[in-house]
Structure 1
């Protein structure tokens, strides 16, 4: 570790200068020799570095999403050119160039933060050894060696011997308890950050080996930090715990406000947006309008979450526009309500016997109605029922055989029978 720290010795002076400036500010409040002054100086150093790395963090998010979306195409290239590694590499580079994806972008924040991490490690190691470094002179060195964080010296480590800890005016038990707790918190925050990313902000419609790799890293990274943490000074543990907490909070904000398409986080975000639109009658905020605009532009390529969002808008009587706004549409609401009513009023499915029985009943009812309408009514005389004659029977048989039906014209009273 000391060898690696020496490689970044060129940045130890700027890092030590920043720490001293923050120490001067906090020392005026808590006292120059307190652990609060030196500990908060390290925390402020982390915050300053992470603010400067926000643009790289944005690139990391975009690169991670692009890599996840390209996994099916990458797998197809690997299967197609599995016997030609050179052609496989060429096709991969072509795919990266066409999509504007940089595989190293996901590692940029860690790589950019590494020099500051090792520079801080070098500064704290020199403090533990009683050596000046950068802008930390003899007086500042003595002040830093007296600073304790919950009873553990700033430059002490879990692996230090009792004599080394005693030289810093502390007990071995307090040092190991404090460092063990900080190592556990550091590893737990790393695990929770990765788990949050995998469970909420991953496109569930894409099943690729990339997801399996991320799941493995979710368990491997915390173990690496736990093993390496026993060799970190307390000040470095403060640094790394702070940067993990910052990463976790930054990621929570991104997941809630700009989730990955197709993820559970996107579904939750669109449901919140739907409630806001239904309550206020409009899309509030430029960022929300841009999201609605992008979803409208997708057309038929929308995922399930986005389709559910548009269905909810239609049921609420709103229609999304190409500019990201929504308009009240009574036609959309009426169509949605009518479709739901028709769906609810669909008749139950009948068996074949029930359909035939219903058909015969309908025919009999129609015949009865027709005969009643066509039966002559005489207001002066009341016709008496007569027994059916042979001629009438023949007529009936002829009518049944397909001849013309209908009532015969009555004979004149003067005509002979």
Structure 2
């Protein structure tokens, strides 16, 4: 881990500078040597990084949905060229290029965050050894070494020896209890985030190997975090727990506001939207109108959930419009009539042929 962290030492100066700036702010409130001042500085570093990564998160969502949509085509290519791996790879790349999908886009937030993660690990490892690093001078290093979160120094690890923990002014029991609790919370938050994605935000109408892979990752990732966590300093555990909670909340927001088409989350969202539309007689909010407009634009390509939504609106006497608004069905009918030139116009009698007009009509017989 120290070797990997050393590879990202070039970014330790900006990371340490950001931490020092936040520490000066929180230190004025909690005291410069307080564990809360240093702990909140790390939390604030995470929040700052994650805010900067929001555009990448949006790309990740689009890439993940794009990959889900491509799964049936990818499976067909694999079956068609199962004996020709090179042709299979070429067809896959061609499919990605045609659809503008990049499989690596789903990993962008993690890849972009990795340098900051390992740089923080490098900073905390030096603090534990009492060495200056980046913009952290000896006074700040000594202050950080003495800072404790629930009795555990921010530079201590679960696997540290009792002598090393004692040198940081703490007990091994406190360190192991705090780190164990944080590792469990870190793993649980990771598991819940993946479980939430699988149960609510996956297109249930498409059964593909991608879903099985995601299900496996739901159980594998928490185990990986738990194993790696015993070698993380308390400060890094604070960092990773915070980023997991942020991811969980961010994903929860996306699932509630912009669910994957065909998923359980979309069904729940459109149920709420239907209730909103029927109670107000209109759709309020740009995001809601955008959703309705997208469903209208799909036409016959709507999935079962979207068709159910349009039908339910109709039963309530409402009709969805192309601009995302909803109007009463009677108004929609009137608008359609006006657009077609007026269906209620008086019907003109059929014009007789010239021969029929010239033939005299027979007089009716007298009674």
Q: So what's the TM-score if we normalise by structure 2?
A: 0.90
Could you give the per-residue CA deviations for residues 164-221 of structure 1, whole angstroms, max 9, x where no partner exists?
Answer: 0000000000000000000000000000000000000000000001100000000000
Distance, in Å, in 1 between the alignment partners of 2:139 and 2:176 is 27
1:198 aligns to 2:198 (yes or no): yes
Q: CA deviation at 1:93?
A: 0.9
Q: Report the counterpart of residue 313 of structure 1 in structure 2.
A: 313
Quick one: higher RCO (CA 8 Å, sep 6+), 1 or 2? 2
Q: CA deviation at 1:331?
A: 8.2
- State which drifts further: 251-260 or 278-287: 278-287
Q: Report the counterpart of residue 173 of structure 1 in structure 2.
A: 173
What number of residue pairs does the alignment pair up? 333
Distance, in Å, in 2 between the alignment partners of 1:82 and 1:146 is 60
1:82 aligns to 2:82 (yes or no): yes
Distance, in Å, in 2 between the alignment partners of 1:143 and 1:155 is 11
Q: Report the counterpart of residue 95 of structure 1 in structure 2.
A: 95
Q: Report the counterpart of residue 248 of structure 1 in structure 2.
A: 248
Distance, in Å, in 2 between the alignment partners of 1:212 and 1:319 is 39
* Structure 1: stretches of 5+ with no match in the other structure: 334-417
Q: Report the counterpart of residue 15 of structure 1 in structure 2.
A: 15
Q: CA deviation at 1:110?
A: 0.4
Q: Report the counterpart of residue 298 of structure 1 in structure 2.
A: 298
Could you give the per-residue CA deviations for residues 27-67 of structure 1, whole angstroms, max 9, x where no partner exists?
Answer: 00000000000000000000000000000000101111110
Whether contact under 8 Å (1:189, 1:244) holds in the other structure is yes
Q: Report the counterpart of residue 287 of structure 1 in structure 2.
A: 287
- State which drifts further: 284-293 or 130-139: 284-293
Q: Report the counterpart of residue 386 of structure 1 in structure 2.
A: none
Q: Please show how residues 382-397 of structure 1 align to structure 2 within 5 Å.
A: none
Q: Report the counterpart of residue 61 of structure 2 in structure 1.
A: 61
Q: CA deviation at 1:145?
A: 0.8
Q: Report the counterpart of residue 234 of structure 1 in structure 2.
A: 234
Distance, in Å, in 1 between the alignment partners of 2:303 and 2:226 is 40
1:33 aligns to 2:17 (yes or no): no
Q: Secondary structure at the match of 1:249?
A: helix
Could you give the per-residue CA deviations for residues 95-114 of structure 1, whole angstroms, max 9, x where no partner exists?
Answer: 11111100000000000000
Q: Report the counterpart of residue 72 of structure 2 in structure 1.
A: 72
Whether contact under 8 Å (1:314, 1:332) holds in the other structure is no
Q: CA deviation at 1:330?
A: 3.5
Q: Report the counterpart of residue 207 of structure 2 in structure 1.
A: 207
Distance, in Å, in 1 between the alignment partners of 2:78 and 2:172 is 54
Q: Report the counterpart of residue 222 of structure 1 in structure 2.
A: 222
Distance, in Å, in 2 between the alignment partners of 1:102 and 1:331 is 45
Could you give the per-residue CA deviations for residues 128-152 of structure 1, whole angstroms, max 9, x where no partner exists?
Answer: 0010000000110111011000000
Distance, in Å, in 1 between the alignment partners of 2:83 and 2:149 is 58
Q: So what's the TM-score if we normalise by structure 1?
A: 0.79
* Structure 2: stretches of 5+ with no match in the other structure: 334-367
Distance, in Å, in 1 between the alignment partners of 2:191 and 2:232 is 19
Q: Report the counterpart of residue 145 of structure 1 in structure 2.
A: 145
Larger radius of gyration: 1
Q: Report the counterpart of residue 47 of structure 1 in structure 2.
A: 47
Q: Report the counterpart of residue 129 of structure 2 in structure 1.
A: 129
